[in-house]
Structures are given as C-alpha cells and as structure tokens.
Amino acid sequence: MAKLNRRKAIQNMSLGFGALSISGSAVGQTLSRDLSNDFPEVLKGNVNHAVCRWCYQSIPLEEFAEKSKNIGIKAIDLLKPEEWDIVQKKGLSCSVATDTFASITDGFNDAKNHEKLQKQYLELISKASHAGVKQVIVFSGNSNGISNEKGWENCAKGLEPLVKHAEKNKVTLIMELLNSKVDHADYQCDHTPWGVQLVDKIGSDSFKLLYDIYHMQIMEGDIIATIRKYKDYIAHYHTGGVPGRHEINDSQELNYPAIMKAIVATGFKGYVAQEFIPTYEDNLAALKEGIQICDV
C-alpha cells in the first residue's frame, strides 16, 4: 500500500479531493463488520479518546462523527473552521483546530513567515475561541540551516503575539513534535527537549506540546520515561504504530497499554487522538480496536 502522508492528505481534503482509499492489510487480516448499528461503547473513563480526521477522509465527516461517537470517541482532531459545527452537532468536540495555511515546512522558526502566519493565526484563534475549540496546532517549520538557538529565538518572537491572544481567548497553542527521519525531513521541532526548551522560553500555559508517540519513538524512543519527565509540557497526544504508522496492536513494536497507563498516571486530562493509517478492510473496526487498546 502506498504510504499516506498527513500533509498531503490534509491538502487533498482542502482541495475537495476527499475520497482517498486507505484500505488494505499490512498484517494479513481484514475486518469487515459493519459498525453502523453498534451501541455506544462503555469505556473506563480514564482516557479522553479522540481521532485524527485525515486518516479517515474517505468517510463523509458527518457519518464519521456519528460512528466515532458510537465507539466512545469524544473529539476529532485537525478540523478546519467550516468543519467544527458538523461534529459539534453530533455531540463531539473539535480537539485540535487547523486550517489550510498551517504549514509543517514553513513555520515560526523563520522570521520571514511571521507576518503572514500571525495574521492568519490571530483570526483562527478568535474563531476557535468563539466556537469553543480549545486547541490550535502550530509548527516549527523546517530548519533550512537555521540553528537550534535561532530557531528557538524566532519561534518565541513569532509566537509571542499569538500566545498573548490565545491567553485572552482561553485557547492553547500546541506545537507538534514530528520525526525528521522518516516522514518530515529537516523539521526542526523533532526532539522533545527542543520543544521543551521553546515552552520554557515562551513561558505561558497557553503554549504547550503535542507529543506524537509514533514520531518520538522513531526519533528518540524512551517513551514512558519521557512522558513522565515532561508531563507538564504536554497538552495533547497522538498515537501510531511503529514502523509504518498503522494499527497500534501487536503487529508493531510499541506497548500502547503500558504507555496509556503511564499517561493516565501523570494525571493527564487532555485528549489522546488515534493517528494511525488503518489497513483493515473496515477502517472503523481498526479505529475501534485502537480505542479499546488505549482504554486503560
């Protein structure tokens, strides 16, 4: 199966391409049971479950929201403003806001991007606050020869007015930790300590990290110890199987039940969003399995 890239998937969604097929089987199995008539899941209640929209873009959003709710999911990640009301009407939240201008490669570490990004993000933060959306995603951008020190300095300077606006509007900006080894070559915020340094430099509760377990397993491993050490810096989590970014079951190397128990033990009350690319014939069966694995 061809590898699906999140950046490309979100771009395709914004252009209306919509129905990419993400079926197949990386682990030699298929699940085709129809989940549409399932009763809502009875879950333990220790984890606020969410899911990233881009992994299921072949399913219309209204239908996806309804079926996600039926398997115990409370929120959907990475929705644009025009999509928030659709999921809210189904009783779900938008857990992380984005828009088509949000760029993984051209971010706040380069001062030439500041003016444009500030204007766009100020508007997005205001929209999010008005709609009751609590988190907005931001990116460092690619290094392109920019040193760590200059990257921190530029990010802090570029984000300063946005963080102040977020504070007033009770919104949290979250910068995602991404791997630069497999998926996002040259991305600067590619290690937890880099992001932690930036959070300390900015010094606001309205700026924290999105800790992507898949990405950080690739870059640095030591997932549980890192979560325990930096728990106060993390506002949101993403999942994904390593290698391949597929299901989080025993076909891959991470022990997600242990990771989730460690997250719960820190007292974390935010969302944990499934961000794996399903390979089962029934994509929603794969999603339901992921929720059950993480429900500790």
Position 40 scores a pLDDT of 56
Strand partners, 113: none
Strands (E), the chain: 48-52, 75-79, 93-97, 135-138, 172-176, 207-212, 234-238, 271-274
Distance between CA atoms of residues 262 and 268, nearest Å: 10
Q: What global pTM score does this model have? A: 0.89
Q: Which domains does the chain have, with CATH numbers?
A: 6-294 (3.20.20.150)
Position 31 scores a pLDDT of 39
Per-residue pLDDT tens over the stretch 132-167: 999 999 999 999 999 999 999 999 999 999 999 999
In this structure, what are the phi and psi dihedrals at residue 85, rounded to the nearest 5 degrees? -65, -30
Position 153 scores a pLDDT of 98
- Inter-residue contact 241 to 214 (CB < 8 Å): yes
Of residues 280, 219, 290, the one with CA closest to residue 257: 290
Contact partners, residue 234, CB within 8 Å, separation at least 6: 208, 209, 210, 211, 227, 268, 270
Of residues 200, 83, 61, the one with CA closest to residue 131: 83
Position 49 scores a pLDDT of 98
Position 42 scores a pLDDT of 84
Position 25 scores a pLDDT of 36
Give every residue of the chain whose pLDDT is below 70, as ranges: 1-41
